[in-house]
Amino acid sequence: MGDFTMAEFADIWEALLSMEGIDRKYHAGEMLYSQGDAHTGLFLIKTGIVKNSIFLKNGTEKSILIYEAPCVMGETAVIDQNTAINTTIAVTDTEAHILSPDRALEYIEAHPRAMKMLLRIYASKMRSVQVQAEITCYTIREKLARFLINAREFGLFLNNPSKMVIVTHEQLASFLGVSRPRITSMLNAFEHEGLIKKRSKGIEVLNMEGLYEILGE
């Protein structure tokens, strides 16, 4: 399966946006909903960039994924009618259309393509969790290579036609569990080797074969 984008489900996206709900604007750094919140609803992110994080007991934030609009958040709690499993935070100024859990679930149950869309979204997010579990014993170089490969192949941290991996050094450090200076140093090394090109908005992957070679694949 290739990259997942909302364009494949444009009809479902437009139908959900047209439903009665709440339109809200969030400033960068503002929380859309928090881990453990009940009845959060389905968040249709119309503009901006958001991230899903889990906060550990000691207050440490662990970034799970970052997505650029258009995207959907809060689908797990809507489908299983339970509390939010993570915290969603606006990375940039963000606009969202929020459907109540009951209204969203009613539509999803009546429209198989809507359920398919949410399953594709959920699967993409699970890829992100799988990456973090897989790289536990990797070197920093291997962690970064695996992250970039999965970003391009499965759409993690990627939801735009330019194929740019939209992520800051700080966010990448949080996701991979290493310090920001070490991430910056490794990105510089990757760029010097012709594997990537650092852009103002993120990272452009230039040499997928070279990334695979780092992993011995």
Half-sphere exposure of 51 (CA within 13 A, CB side): 23
What pLDDT does 5 receive? 62
Query: Which CATH number is 6-128 given?
Result: 2.60.120.10
| pLDDT tier for residue 110 given thresholds of 50, 70 and 90 | very high
CA distance 67 to 39: 22
Average pLDDT across the chain, whole number? 87
Task: Report how far apart, in Å, the C-alpha atoms of 92 and of each of 27, 83, 166 are.
Answer: 7, 25, 12
Range picked from 53-57, 125-129, 191-195 for highest mean pLDDT: 191-195
Distance CA 10, CA 124 (A): 18
**pLDDT score of 164:** 74
Q: Could you give the CA distance from residue 20 to residue 22 in angstroms, rounded to a whole number?
A: 7
Q: Residue 4 above 60 pLDDT?
A: no
pTM for this model (two decimals): 0.74
The mean per-residue pLDDT over the stretch 148-157 comes to 71
Q: Where in the chain is the domain with CATH 2.60.120.10?
A: 6-128
pLDDT tens-digit series, residues 20-76:
999 999 999 999 999 999 989 999 999 998 888 888 778 777 777 778 888 899 999
Q: For the domain made up of 138-214, give the CATH fold.
A: Arc Repressor Mutant, subunit A (1.10.10)
Residues of the chain with CATH 1.10.10.10: 138-214
